[in-house]
Amino acid sequence: MTWQLTPYTVPLVLATLLGIAGAVVTWRHRSGPVETWGAIVQVSVGLWALLTVCTVSSVPLELKLFWFRSFLVVPPLLTVSTLCFVIHFTGRGDWLTRPRLVALFLFPVATLVLVATNHVHGYMFVDPRVAHGSISLLEYDLQWGTYAVFGLSYALVVVHSTMLSLKILRSRNVYRRISFVIIVATVGSTSMTLFSLAEVSPAPPHFMLLPLAYLAFGTLLIVGTSSITVARKVPVDRVLAVLSLQRGTVVPLARDFVVEAVDNGIIVFDRNDRVVDVNSTAKRLAGGGRPVGKHVTALVPSEIVLRAGDLEAVLDGTEPVRELREELWIRLDDRERCYDVRVSALGDDDDDPVGHVALIHDITEQKRREDQLRAREQELELQTEQLEYQNERLDRFAGIVSHDLRNPLNVAQGYLETMVSEIEDTDADDGPADVTVSVEHLEQIDRSHDRMGDIIEDALALARQGKAITETEAVDLSAVAEDAWANVETRNATLELGDDWSVVADRDRLLNVFENLFRNSLEHGTPGETEDGRASPTVRVGRLADGTGFYVEDDGPGIPDDRKESVLEEGYTTATDGTGFGLAIVRDVTRAHGWSIAVTDAADGGARFEISGVDGSDVDDPALPPLGRRSAE
């Protein structure tokens, strides 16, 4: 008979399956070296149980020796893999370089060599034999080599247990509890080998007690590390308080309370840029979830990040977590939120920190108030500019009244004095008689009065057009142009309109812009000739090529380059009866809208006025009249 069923076969098989299940679960949830080494640890435990059940359940001595020799390599393999897992778990992964990893694995390799050559030197065990009873058991005498292997294994257990203990003392919340579960499971399971090594185990030899104990400790380990809910219920703080005899626990408890209650979000990263601790405020700012254990690249989805500055390279994994301060704008629940993120290094060595801590503060309301304050400041600046501009206009108006009115007033006064002088001369020579009044003199006086009226009317219009625009609406540019065309004396001129376009403007003042531009084109343009000899100037209105505004142009002689800037100044005119205020009114209205105006040449050489900075869009309203070519004829 080759195999036998023992009371230990089923429990050991269950321990084997538990180790395999733990490895599969850990491997499927892997996101880095921590989970990878965790899976190797579970495989090692499962291998321990498998080789033990094969040793116990086999019957021939040669078969039992084969399985037992294979088993002796597993303890150092389990110890080294557990140490590598703890190194990464505690954030010291940078220490585990390739040469050091090779040095660690020389331990199980050397054990393998000793076991394979044991029949030559007998350093591991001697006198193997089978004791027959109700079941057949392998017996042997352990030698110094086996004790040395387990002694070195225990030394490595002390090292990784110390790392885990420091992790427990320095961590908070879930990570502290997970560390506690790991140290209880590893130390508890490993301590079982002491009984087997001392040959005082209640179970037979072959170090069977560890896989049997793993049924309990392994279940605790798998459930406690994979379920955050279970981990939260581990009473680690109570255990630590009992172990410390209630001394020195006030400071950590107070620190935990402050960290949880502070308004700032706090996230602690290890050397591998994984979250090892987070307070409730940070989880709330991040929208909930379970960030502990996640890499920094998994904290904030890239699709919700609006602006991150230097932090963007950290969030996408291009750069490691480092000291910085940046504003992070994200979109949550269809709202933009802004966070002030300050990352600082942890540890005394600035060149090799043990981790980083990120302080996160929601400054959305602060930014909103800053924007409101900035808008208010801009509004006040605009109002100040408007007041200064109005004062300027008052000064200009006073200058117009005192200067420009003086000439027509003097002309009227001169003709009036001439008429009075002629009347007085007639009375002196002939005595009282009928007085003949010169019609030419009266016409000159009338023209002077009309001229003064025009100056006063245009000056008032200029003063009014310089006021700020307070109410705007979306208006059809072509419709306003057509209305303005109907308001001016166009005679037989032609208006050509471009595509439909809607702009945001004060309609009445935009109407005044078109009226003055049309008058300028019709009064100063040099038109062509129709078949019957009548003038037929053409004025075109259209959208600028870049879509930022509109233009008004004619087919006249244009404006000389040296006069393009001065034509927009008040008082500039080339007509003897002009006031020079029309284009100045256009300039002031465009400025009041926040637009800009430029004087240039049309494609056919005429004058072209381009108004840019206009907020506009296409007109889609089918009720609007079709636009095209409109003639005054």
Cα angle 109-114-87, degrees, rounded to a multiple of 5: 30
Question: Is the pLDDT confidence value at 621 over 80?
Answer: no
Place of tokens 């790392």: 163
Question: Is the pLDDT confidence value at 401 over 70?
Answer: no
Residue scoring higher pLDDT (624 or 1): 1
The CA-based dihedral angle spanning residues 371, 377, 381, 382, taken in that order and rounded to the nearest 10 degrees? 50
Per residue in 559-585, pLDDT (tens digit) is: 888 888 778 876 556 555 555 667 887
Interatomic CA distance for residues 254 and 173, integer angstroms: 14
**Residue 628 confidence class, pLDDT cut points 50, 70, 90:** very low
Place of tokens 């370089």: 97
With contact defined as beta carbons under 8 Å apart, do 344 and 359 qualify? Answer: yes
Residue scoring higher pLDDT (260 or 472): 472
Per residue in 212-256, pLDDT (tens digit) is: 777 777 676 666 555 555 555 555 555 555 445 344 444 455 555
Long-range contacts of the stretch 100-107 (C-beta < 8 A, 24+) = 104/80, 105/80, 107/76, 107/79, 107/80, 107/152
Check residue 551 and give its pLDDT.
Answer: 94
Upper half-sphere CA count for residue 460 (Cβ side, 13 Å): 5
Question: Is the pLDDT confidence value at 468 over 80?
Answer: no
The burial class, CB within 10 Å (0-12 / 13-18 / 19+), for 58 is: buried
For helices 439-465 and 507-524, what crossing angle results, to 10°? 140
User: Strand 538-543 to strand 494-497: parallel, antiparallel, or no bridges (unpaired)?
Assistant: parallel
Supply the CATH classification number for the domain 9-241.
1.20.1070
What is the average pLDDT score of the chain? 78
Question: Is the pLDDT confidence value at 442 over 90?
Answer: no
Place of tokens 């949550």: 332
Q: Mean of the pLDDT values across residues 458-464?
A: 61
**Residue 447 confidence class, pLDDT cut points 50, 70, 90:** confident
Check residue 103 and give its pLDDT.
Answer: 93
Interatomic CA distance for residues 138 and 205, integer angstroms: 8
Interatomic CA distance for residues 72 and 67, integer angstroms: 9
Of all residues in the chain, the percent with pLDDT exceeding 90 is: 16
Question: Is the pLDDT confidence value at 467 over 70?
Answer: no
Question: Is the pLDDT confidence value at 22 over 80?
Answer: yes
Supply the CATH classification number for the domain 262-362.
3.30.450.20
**What does the block give as tokens for 396?**
């200009």
Element spanning 275, H or E: strand 275-278
**From edge to edge, which strands make up the β-sheet containing 473-476?**
473-476, 501-505, 616-618
Residue scoring higher pLDDT (88 or 271): 88
Question: Is the pLDDT confidence value at 488 over 60?
Answer: yes
Question: Is the pLDDT confidence value at 102 over 90?
Answer: yes
Residue scoring higher pLDDT (463 or 473): 473
For domain 469-631, give its CATH number from 3.10.310.10, 3.30.565.10, 3.90.550.10, 3.40.1710.10.
3.30.565.10
Residue scoring higher pLDDT (169 or 304): 304
With contact defined as beta carbons under 8 Å apart, do 46 and 81 qualify? Answer: no
Check residue 529 and give its pLDDT.
Answer: 46
Residue scoring higher pLDDT (91 or 511): 511
Check residue 629 and give its pLDDT.
Answer: 36
Check residue 419 and give its pLDDT.
Answer: 77
Per residue in 530-542, pLDDT (tens digit) is: 444 445 788 999 9
Q: Mean of the pLDDT values across residues 483-506?
A: 86
Q: Mean of the pLDDT values across residues 137-143?
A: 87
Per residue in 316-333, pLDDT (tens digit) is: 888 888 889 898 888 877
Check residue 611 and give its pLDDT.
Answer: 93
Check residue 569 and give its pLDDT.
Answer: 76
Question: Is the pLDDT confidence value at 498 over 70?
Answer: yes
> What is the CB neighbour count within 10 angstroms for residue 140?
17
Per residue in 509-552, pLDDT (tens digit) is: 888 889 888 888 887 765 554 444 445 788 999 999 888 899 99
Highest mean pLDDT among 40-54, 178-192, 417-431: 40-54
**Residue 120 confidence class, pLDDT cut points 50, 70, 90:** very high
Count the residues in the chain. 633
Check residue 67 and give its pLDDT.
Answer: 92
Whether the predicted model's global pTM rises above the 0.75 cut: no
Check residue 282 and give its pLDDT.
Answer: 78
